[in-house]
Amino acid sequence: MQREATRHRHVRVGDRDLFVREAGREDAPAVLLPHGYPCSSFQFRRLMPALSDRWRTVAFDWPGFGYSDTPEPAGFGYDFDAYADVLTDVTDVLGLERYALWLHDYGSQISLRHAIAHPDGIAALIIQNGDIYEDVLGPKYATIKAWWADKTDENHRPLEEAVSEEGFRNEFVGEVSGEIASRLPPDLWKLHWPLMDTPVRRAVSVGLMEKLEQNLEWFPRYQSYLRENQPETLIIWGPQDGYMPEESARAYYRDLPNAELHLLRDAGHWLLETHFDEALPLVRNFLSRMLR
């Protein structure tokens, strides 16, 4: 298996520069990898070269994250619609016409908005801990729901406190066992937090938590897209996830009864960090059948 090194560059997308990672031949079937929170395209650094022998993998940092530009809020919406537009611009600039789309964390909701607008571009979906079913949201949503219900300074303060180095660390190691947590490199928060510790980026991160409330209105539309289009789907899930427990994964069967589901029992939200050797064969097997 001939793997190719990951290439790194900045790409002009619209009126801003985005940091892009790519691996694999440009003419190979493509896998598009939008990242979640609190991270960047760094979260796919192991997966990309591991697929590069057969597939073109593309990951990038959203505006306001990682090494990409941080536009002033007056000129960029920093909401799910704005990010969905960025995703479409990325596919246009990089010449991606049909691709498998990875859904994880915030990236799942952004990517499904993109898929609704561009259904012909979606060759397959890979869903890793991405929630679109309101009735099975996990217990960690309680903090955000408290602010949705009563928008006081007191209820808002935990959202602000979560946007910190310690808050980022807790997102990565706070829900899995000590043994599993030991597999998570501190680089994930130690390297990323200094990039995010600016007034605009901190405000962006808090704002995305706030805007999850409006995003709930899109959940039925995401579900309708899946139900009506029946994309080929692999669901690979870490159930030790306070936001998205096992029930959140199984809920996809309501609309995708033929989806392929794998629960990695002691894994959490960041299974590509902790269970990579288990996840990779599942992903490769799926892609070998869907993207030839």
Give the Cα separation of 3 and 6 in Å (integer): 9
Q: Please report which confidence band the pLDDT of residue 1 belongs to, taking 50, 70 and 90 as the band edges.
A: low
Per-residue pLDDT, 10:
98
**DSSP-assigned letters across all residues of 190-214:** HTHHHHH-SHHHHHHHHHHHHHHHH
**From start to end of 113-200, where are the E strands?**
122-128
What is the per-residue pLDDT across 29-88, written as a single tens digit (0 to 9) for each? 999 999 999 999 999 999 999 999 999 999 999 999 999 999 999 999 999 999 999 999
Counting DSSP H helices and E strands in the chain, the numbers are: 14, 8
Distance, CA of 147 to CA of 158 (rounded, Å): 9
Q: Which residues of 260-289 are buried (b: 16+ CB within 10 A; e: fewer)?
A: ebeebeebbbbbbbbbeeebeeebbebbee
**CATH classification for the domain delimited by 7-139+218-290, as one of 3.40.50.1820, 3.40.50.740, 3.40.50.720, 3.30.300.30:** 3.40.50.1820
Whether 89 and 63 have beta carbons less than 8 Å apart is answered as no
Query: pLDDT digits over 265-281, tens only?
Result: 999 999 999 999 999 99
Strand partners, 268: 240
Give percent above pLDDT 70 in the chain: 100
Classify the C-alpha dihedral 83-189-196-242 as positive or negative: positive
User: Please, what is the average pLDDT of the chain?
Assistant: 96
> Average of pLDDT values for 134-144?
95
Say if residues 35 and 163 touch (Cβ distance below 8 Å).
no
* Collapsed DSSP state (helix, strand, coil) of residue 16: strand
